[in-house]
Amino acid sequence: MSTLRDYIKSQPRKSRKEWADCFGISRPYLYGLMEGTRHPSLDVALRIADITEGAVPVMAWPNLAAVIRAATPTRQPRQPKRKAGVA
């Protein structure tokens, strides 16, 4: 899992403006995401994950990771089967 900042730095062929355009966001918003002063909406995080081919997954964003963990049901342990005739 990579951060957006690390991913963009590893791809020097594109300018920050080109990355912002790819993600459908403004350049100042991109800088905020890279610096950690802004948090993406789920829609923006999904676009970033798609465009980076999963290198920057939705779970890379702390605000969304917490929401996803809270919304994911925990697996309940299996109840032992009761024997027939035992109450």
- CATH number, domain of 33, equals 1.10.260.40
| Residue 9 confidence (pLDDT) above 90 | yes
- Domain span at 27: 4-71
| Stretch 2-30: mean pLDDT | 95
| Domain count across the chain | 1
Cβ proximity of 52 and 22 under 8 Å: no
Identify the DSSP state of 60. Answer: G
Q: What is the mean pLDDT of residues 79-85?
A: 68
The rounded distance, in Å, linking the Cα atoms of 82 and 87 is: 8
**Given this model, what pLDDT does residue 66 score?**
74
Q: Could you give the count of Cα atoms lying within 13 Å of 52 in the half-sphere of its Cβ?
A: 26
pLDDT for position 77: 65
Output the pLDDT for position 15.
Answer: 95
How do residues 34-78 score in pLDDT, each as one tens digit? 999 999 998 999 999 999 999 999 888 888 877 777 777 776 666
Residue 26 belongs to a domain: yes
